[in-house]
Amino acid sequence: MSTGKAAKYKVYKDHRNEWRWTFHAANGEAIAVSSEGYTAERDCLHGIALMKSSNDAVVLVEE
């Protein structure tokens, strides 16, 4: 049964007044964060677009 929740990106300003994003799984758990702060919101949104377009990225497992 579906709970109606979906994965989502949260865009916000941090304590340094920089834009950042956090990706939350459908269960609400934060599973990815931006590795840098952005001075412009549009640059932060561009970072999200890059993440969304990398669905075919290769997975590397280091042992």
Q: Are 34 and 59 in contact (CB under 8 A)?
A: no
Cβ neighbours of residue 38 closer than 8 Å, sequence gap 6 or more? 18, 19, 20, 44, 47
Mean pLDDT, range 23-45, rounded to an integer: 97
Mean pLDDT, range 40-56, rounded to an integer: 93
- pTM for this predicted structure: 0.81
Q: Cα dihedral sign for 32, 33, 34, 40? A: positive
Give the mean pLDDT of the chain: 92
Class of domain 8-52: alpha beta
Q: What pLDDT score does 4 carry?
A: 66
Task: Order the strands of the 8-13 sheet from edge to edge.
Answer: 8-13, 19-24, 30-33
Q: What pLDDT score does 14 carry?
A: 98
